[in-house]
């Protein structure tokens, strides 16, 4: 076999395993889903297109029984989950899941393919099938993560308008806490330009920098997409940690970092924090450019040793009053 054949043999094994696995469990047609109380065939096709997937023919065996039941249940709940909303959400899911799938397979191939080239045809096919065997595990893990994030977002919405006081009793007992949000500025453009492998490397580096520079007094560090949320007992610690992280990530050939800090009352729950202070800090982040840290007045008043520049009173989505914003001068 020539060199080109040796290079393409593992990819062929992956494709054959994928083809053999994908069709095995798909036994339900769009027509059967409609007959079972699910969406009409044209609506089902519209939903699949919103996901970024081709619309199947009416009598094509395109769905597993579990997928078909999910479609039927979605249509049954049209009164609380309108189909128009399902289309909008599906567009978001489709784009994000496509990126996850692309990055996952590319990373798998980059790690496993060198070993596949050294194996025989049967071993290559077995390794490729092992990738397909991980799909149910991946589905379960994605569902786990998705459910946890939905629970947290629902809790944030429920507590958004609840007045918090330090002495409130029961499950709404609040504490004073300082929040630092930081993420990679213009990361999506960098990933599109440099590719997924470079994007993964810069996220790994960013995570290492945050771990090293967050300081010993951090109470919580939580990954948020390509960014982090950290909490501290006072604003000074949060500002200093944010400045260190920004400095450590400076460089011309990769995304920089922007950060936001706010201090307020929040409810600790299940290792996380909930309340308007969290939402305000998160939404304040968009006001910071690359290599910048922005903060609210309460932070500035408690960090007088730093120099600050007023950035104006801004209307921030989800906050009922204007918020005074200041930019840290370095």
Does residue 141 surpass a pLDDT of 70? Answer: yes
* Per-residue tokens: 32: 């059967």
The architecture CATH gives domain 164-328: 2-Layer Sandwich (3.30)
Note the pLDDT tens digit of each residue in 20-56: 556 667 899 999 999 999 999 999 999 999 999 889 9
Select the highest-mean-pLDDT range: 265-274, 282-291, 292-301.
292-301
- Of the pLDDT bands very low, low, confident and very high (cuts 50, 70, 90), residue 121 is low
Output 116 or 111, whichever has higher pLDDT: 111
Instruction: Report, as an integer, the average pLDDT of 81-100.
Output: 88
The residue-averaged pLDDT of 251-262 equals 90
pLDDT of residue 41: 96
Exposure string for 227-244, b = 16+ CB within 10 A, e = fewer: bbbbbbeebbbbbbbbbb
Say if residue 140's pLDDT is above 70: yes
Query: Which residues of the chain form CATH 3.30.70.1230?
Result: 164-328
C-alpha span between 163 and 165 (Å, rounded): 7
Confidence of residue 68 (pLDDT cuts 50, 70, 90): very high
- Return the percentage of the chain with pLDDT > 90, whole number: 41
List phi, psi (to 5°) of 206.
-60, -45
Q: Which residues contact 311 (CB under 8 A, 6 or more apart)?
A: 287, 294, 325, 326, 327
DSSP conformation letters of 132-190 = HHTHHHHHHHHHHHHHHHHHHHHHHHHHTT----TT--GGG--EEEEEEEEEETTHHHH
With cut-offs at 50, 70 and 90, classify the pLDDT of residue 1. Answer: very low
- Under 8 Å between Cβ of 181 and 229: yes
Percent of the chain exceeding pLDDT 70 equals: 81
pLDDT of residue 126: 63
| Residues whose CB is less than 8 angstroms from the CB of residue 195 and which lie 6 or more positions away in sequence, other chains included | none
User: What pLDDT does 2 receive?
Assistant: 45
Q: Is the pTM of this model over 0.75?
A: no
**Contact between residue 225 and residue 174 where contact means Cβ atoms under 8 Å apart:** no
What average pLDDT does this structure show over 201-209?
89
Residue predicted with more confidence, 313 or 156: 313
In this predicted structure, the answer to whether residue 7 has a pLDDT above a threshold of 60 is: no
Place 274 in a pLDDT band, splitting at 50, 70 and 90: confident
Beta strands in the chain (DSSP E): 175-184, 220-224, 227-232, 257-269, 272-274, 293-296, 308-314, 323-328
Highest-confidence segment of 77-81, 159-163, 250-254? 77-81
Confidence of residue 112 (pLDDT cuts 50, 70, 90): low
User: Are the CB atoms for 101 and 94 separated by under 8 Å?
Assistant: no
Q: Which two tokens stand for residue 297?
A: 């007045």
- pLDDT of 74 above 80: yes
């Amino acid at each position: 076999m020539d060199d080109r054949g040796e290079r393409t043999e593992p990819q062929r094994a992956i494709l054959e395993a994928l083809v053999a696995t994908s069709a095995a469990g798909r036994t339900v047609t769009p027509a059967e889903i409609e007959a079972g109380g699910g969406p009409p065939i044209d609506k089902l096709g519209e939903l699949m297109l919103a996901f970024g997937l081709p619309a199947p023919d009416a009598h094509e065996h395109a769905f597993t029984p579990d997928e078909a039941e999910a479609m039927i249940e979605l249509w049954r709940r049209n009164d609380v989950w309108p189909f128009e909303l399902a289309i909008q959400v599906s567009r978001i899911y489709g784009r994000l899941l496509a990126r996850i799938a692309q990055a996952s397979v590319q990373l798998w191939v980059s790690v496993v393919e060198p070993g596949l080239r050294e194996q025989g045809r049967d071993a290559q096919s077995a390794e490729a099938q092992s990738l397909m065997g991980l799909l149910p595990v991946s589905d379960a893990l994605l569902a786990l993560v998705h459910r946890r994030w939905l629970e947290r977002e629902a809790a944030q919405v429920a507590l958004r308008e609840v007045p918090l006081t330090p002495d409130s009793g029961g499950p709404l007992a609040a504490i004073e806490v300082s929040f630092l949000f930081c993420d990679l500025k213009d990361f999506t453009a960098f990933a599109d330009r440099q590719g997924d492998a470079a994007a993964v490397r810069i996220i790994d580096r960013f995570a290492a920098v945050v771990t090293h520079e967050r300081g010993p007094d951090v109470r919580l560090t939580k990954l948020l997409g390509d960014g982090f949320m950290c909490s501290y007992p006072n604003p000074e610690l949060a500002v200093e940690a944010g400045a260190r992280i920004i400095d450590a990530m400076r460089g011309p050939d990769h995304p920089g970092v922007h950060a936001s800090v706010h201090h307020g009352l929040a409810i600790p729950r299940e290792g996380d924090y909930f309340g308007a202070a969290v939402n305000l800090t998160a939404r304040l982040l968009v006001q910071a450019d690359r290599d910048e840290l922005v903060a609210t007045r309460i932070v500035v008043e408690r960090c007088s040793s730093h120099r600050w520049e007023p950035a104006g009173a801004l209307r921030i989505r989800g906050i009922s009053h204007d918020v005074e914003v200041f930019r840290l001068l370095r």
